Amino acid sequence: MKIIKRNGSETEFDSRKIAVAIGKASQASASSERLSDADIQEMTECVSATCELLGRAPSVEEVQDMVEKQIMSHGAFEVAKRYITYRYTRALVRQSNTTDDKILSLIECANEEAKQENANKNPVINSTQRDYMAGEVSKDLTMRMLLPQDIVEAHNEGIIHFHDSDYYAQHMHNCDLVNLEDMLQNGTVITGTLIEKPHSFSTACNIATQIIAQVASNQYGGQSISLAHLAPFVQVSRERIRRETEEELREAGVEINETLLDKLTEHQLRAEIKRGVQTIQYQVVTLMTTNGQAPFVTVFMYLGEAKNEQEKKDLAIIIEEVLNQRYEGVKNEQGIWVTPAFPKLIYVLEEDNIHEDSPYYYLTKLAAKCTAKRMVPDYISEKVMKELKGGDVYTCMGCRSFLTPDRFTDKGVGNIANAGNYEPGKHKYYGRFNQGVVTVNLVDIGLSAHGDMDEFWKIFDERMELCHRAMRCRHDRLLGTLSDVAPILWQYGALARLKKGETIDRLLYGGYSTLSLGYAGLWECVLALNGKKLTEPEGEALGLEIMRKLNEYTAKWKAAEDIDYSLYGTPLESTTYKFAKCLQKRFGVIPGITDKGYITNSYHIHVTEPINAFDKIRIEAKFQALSPGGAISYVEVPNMNDNLDAVMAVMKFIYDNILYAELNTKSDYCQVCGWDGEIEIQEEDGKLLWTCPRCGNRDQNKMNVARRTCGYIGTQYWNQGRTQEIKDRVLHVSNAVIGQNLSLDLDE
């Protein structure tokens, strides 16, 4: 068994150290209060056994808490006092320099928490280490100086989570929708260089990747761009290619034939589109931003955004090429085609592509093929989104964070961002952003109430006000931010075209940007309160009531402050592990609630719950509708490359029933033996290890593993809590069964 030291490094668990520590506290006590060797041995064994039951590596602090409880339970209060005093004295010494050990362990790649903190960051790389080092300093400043102490304590205890504290010291926002159209059509400036409107599709793609890199380096969340903003440049290239081809034919003395000219033009145009799309895919994958990872970018594919029929046809060509290239994948070091993490792709299911007689149905079939092999694209239902978002259809920011429907335009506020492509009266989404997230641990509220609903709502109200104040800290931190801190964002069109020296304050009110109230563990919360699951009528009813109450609070704050608070289903990548550990510390190991190294994301049905894909989507759709600030549902599927009819069936069900969903499969490769099936997760000595089932390879540097983490694909591995969650996932679609029962499921 392993133990996590205070600096984040991992070492062997040594029970003898527990015995020594208790013995020293005992010897420092009066002789009449001292413990016997048998008592010390019993306590040591109890603590060791408790650690074993956790199913993960405990931290030093957790072990010391267990020791305190053991000493107290034996009535040895004098010994406990000595032990607590020693801990406090050592804590004071450490408090004088809180970051050095962590930073040094980061540099030496010994920090296990950092290694697994982000599934798309490699902690060995200098740029990642530099970002983590800066993050440690930011967190230290944030927790010691910038946040109120009660918010810090609630964060440390896992009652709430104040996200991205490693960036809070700077005046940075979370995620956004890049106004790529404005930047391409009206020009932009990148590192002091004027970039004018491109004269070809390939140039537009190249500029887009530079914009993506610049935006990623000036924020800490995800960004989204739309292929519709690149589509007009297909016609620009078409006209240029046609002119050049016609001139070449004339010079060669060839008689001009319009049919031949059209054919030659389209042939060259397709080649340019292929090069342009390849530029986006390979540059995004290979770019390294200042935070030590590839840009977290989402590419939106929605035919309905095209401004005319020709543009729609051109957009369809781009979408087709994007899907084809993603299906192929990218080559790893050995030259093997593997699944890349980014860019994330979102494909809108709409009337023009969802039915077999729809003109663009061929794109949907291609999307299904790509999903089966590479886990993307994910799917937004135009039909459901229009119902829930006031008739508008737009992409999320990054993996799941959605803006609130445009209300500042309806209020007649006008072009507050000075966007070059602003159209009066038309709803605006590109150029808008999210200010940040604070997440409430619903499981903690549920367990703290001990089954008493009156007590639950009382604690719930207190936690909501705590979250509200924490979110206001995020908002207030951005107030007064000058546009000069990130020119690409605030001055040159990505989010606005403000003047130098101007503040971004007016973009923080009126609905232009959002603040997110995150929530986690609805499944366990309901189970703790009434013993029911969200899949049972009583559990579903209580879960929906809690969701409605959360929305009541965001609506109340919004009305009072003119800030668009919105309810957000938190992804919980590393936080799921933190929350689980804090719950075990506060409440012990409770079957079905705190007995794992993770808690359930947002409103999701538990990953171990046996349920078919269609029932899961039906149930979760009710909760997703009450999570307007962002949420995504998924179904876990086996290898579906030979069962695309089943994939299409799920996609059509998504179109009719839920706003945003994805299909999770596996896409792995062992570099040692060439295994291209699923890399398994095996447990050894209390630790979960990724293992090739063919050759037993456990070297993570010699395998490619891609798993859906929290709405996006991770490729750099995960902490032990998230790894356990991935291991525990059950299939919602069975290849053996779906062919027989699919029509029955769809008809029900």
Q: What is the pLDDT of residues 141-166, one digit of tens each?
A: 899 899 999 999 999 999 999 999 98
The yes-or-no answer on residue 711 being catalytic is: yes
Per annotation, catalytic residue among 350, 573, 662, 725: 573
3-state secondary structure string across 237-302: HHHHHHHHHHHHHHHCCCCCCHHHHHHHHHHHHHHHHHHHHHHHHHHHHHCCCCCCCCCCEEEEEC
**What's the pLDDT score for residue 352?**
97
- The residue assigned the tokens 């069936």 is 649
**What's the pLDDT score for residue 134?**
73
Per annotation, catalytic residue among 9, 226, 401, 448: 401
* pLDDT value at 209 more than 60: yes
Over residues 561-581, the mean pLDDT reads 91
How many other CB atoms sit within 10 Å of the CB of residue 633?
25
Domains of the chain by start residue, with CATH = 2-115 (no CATH), 176-663 (3.20.70.20)
Per annotation, catalytic residue among 434, 483, 574, 643: 434
* pLDDT value at 739 more than 70: no
* pLDDT per position as a tens digit, 581-640: 999 999 999 999 999 989 999 999 999 999 999 999 999 999 999 999 999 999 999 988
Q: How many CA atoms lie within 13 A of 409 on its CB side?
A: 13
Let me know: does 625 contact 381? Beta carbons within 8 Å: no
Over residues 107-118, the mean pLDDT reads 54
Q: How far apart are the first and last CA of the chain?
A: 49
Give me the helix-helix angle, 361-374 and 644-657, nearest 10°. 110
**What's the pLDDT score for residue 108?**
57
Strands 160-162 and 667-670: unpaired
The yes-or-no answer on residue 397 being catalytic is: yes
The yes-or-no answer on residue 568 being catalytic is: yes
pLDDT more than 70, % of the chain:
90
Cα 109 from Cα 9, distance rounded (Å): 8
Confidence bin at 746 (pLDDT 50/70/90)? very low
* pLDDT value at 737 more than 50: no
Top pLDDT among 105 and 357 is at 357
Strands 433-441 and 513-520: parallel
Over residues 31-56, the mean pLDDT reads 88
* pLDDT per position as a tens digit, 479-488: 999 999 999 9
Over residues 572-584, the mean pLDDT reads 88
| Tokens found for residue 631 | 């949420």
**What's the pLDDT score for residue 102?**
60
Q: Which residue spans within 570-711 are E strands per DSSP?
A: 633-636, 660-664, 667-670, 680-684, 687-691, 703-708
Per annotation, catalytic residue among 276, 329, 630, 711: 711
* pLDDT per position as a tens digit, 211-269: 999 999 899 999 999 999 999 999 999 999 999 999 999 898 888 889 999 999 999 99
**What's the pLDDT score for residue 180?**
98
Q: Which residue spans within 335-462 are E strands per DSSP?
A: 337-338, 344-349, 378-381, 433-441
Confidence bin at 700 (pLDDT 50/70/90)? confident
Per annotation, catalytic residue among 7, 9, 29, 174: 174
**Residues sharing a CB contact under 8 Å with residue 379, sequence separation 6 or more, in sequence order:** 346, 347, 348, 349, 367, 651, 654, 655, 660, 661, 662
In one-letter notation, the amino acid at residue 607 is V
* pLDDT value at 61 more than 80: yes
Look at residues 604, 429, 626, 401 and name the one whose alpha carbon lies nearest to residue 516.
401
User: In sequence order, what are the beta bridge partners of 224?
Assistant: 177, 298
Got the DSSP string for 674-689? Answer: ---SPPEEEEETTEEE
Confidence bin at 106 (pLDDT 50/70/90)? low
The runs of H, that is alpha helices, within 96-231 are: 100-107, 112-115, 126-141, 149-156, 180-186, 201-216
Judge residue 98's burial from the number of C-beta atoms within 10 Å of its C-beta, 0-12 exposed, 13-18 middle, 19 or more buried: middle
pLDDT more than 90, % of the chain:
66
**b/e sequence 537-557, b meaning 16+ C-beta within 10 Å:** eebbebbbebbeebbebbeeb
Q: How many CA atoms lie within 13 A of 243 on its CB side?
A: 6
* pLDDT value at 650 more than 90: yes
* pLDDT value at 96 more than 60: no
Confidence bin at 748 (pLDDT 50/70/90)? very low
Cα 452 from Cα 456, distance rounded (Å): 6
**What's the pLDDT score for residue 742?**
47
Per annotation, catalytic residue among 167, 379, 512, 568: 568
**What's the pLDDT score for residue 85?**
78
Look at residues 90, 40, 27, 29 and name the one whose alpha carbon lies nearest to residue 70.
40
**What's the pLDDT score for residue 720?**
78
Cα 370 from Cα 6, distance rounded (Å): 44
> Which is it for the CA torsion 423, 427, 430, 432, positive or negative?
positive
Confidence bin at 337 (pLDDT 50/70/90)? confident
The yes-or-no answer on residue 401 being catalytic is: yes
**What's the pLDDT score for residue 747?**
37
Q: What's the mean per-residue pLDDT of the chain?
A: 89
* pLDDT per position as a tens digit, 371-399: 999 989 999 999 999 999 999 999 999 88
- The residue assigned the tokens 């543009």 is 311
* pLDDT per position as a tens digit, 503-548: 999 999 999 999 999 999 999 999 999 999 999 999 999 999 999 9
Cα 389 from Cα 381, distance rounded (Å): 12
* pLDDT per position as a tens digit, 299-315: 999 999 999 999 999 99
Confidence bin at 336 (pLDDT 50/70/90)? confident
| Tokens found for residue 376 | 């993307």
Per annotation, catalytic residue among 133, 301, 397, 710: 397
User: In sequence order, what are the beta bridge partners of 434?
Assistant: 514
**What's the pLDDT score for residue 276?**
97
The yes-or-no answer on residue 695 being catalytic is: no
Q: Point out the least confidently predicted range of 77-91, 244-258, 351-365, 562-576.
A: 77-91
* pLDDT value at 126 more than 80: no
* pLDDT value at 289 more than 60: no
| Tokens found for residue 302 | 């929605």
Over residues 108-119, the mean pLDDT reads 53
Let me know: does 137 contact 130? Beta carbons within 8 Å: no
* pLDDT value at 724 more than 90: no
Over residues 290-299, the mean pLDDT reads 76
Phi, psi of 513 (to 5 degrees): -125, 170
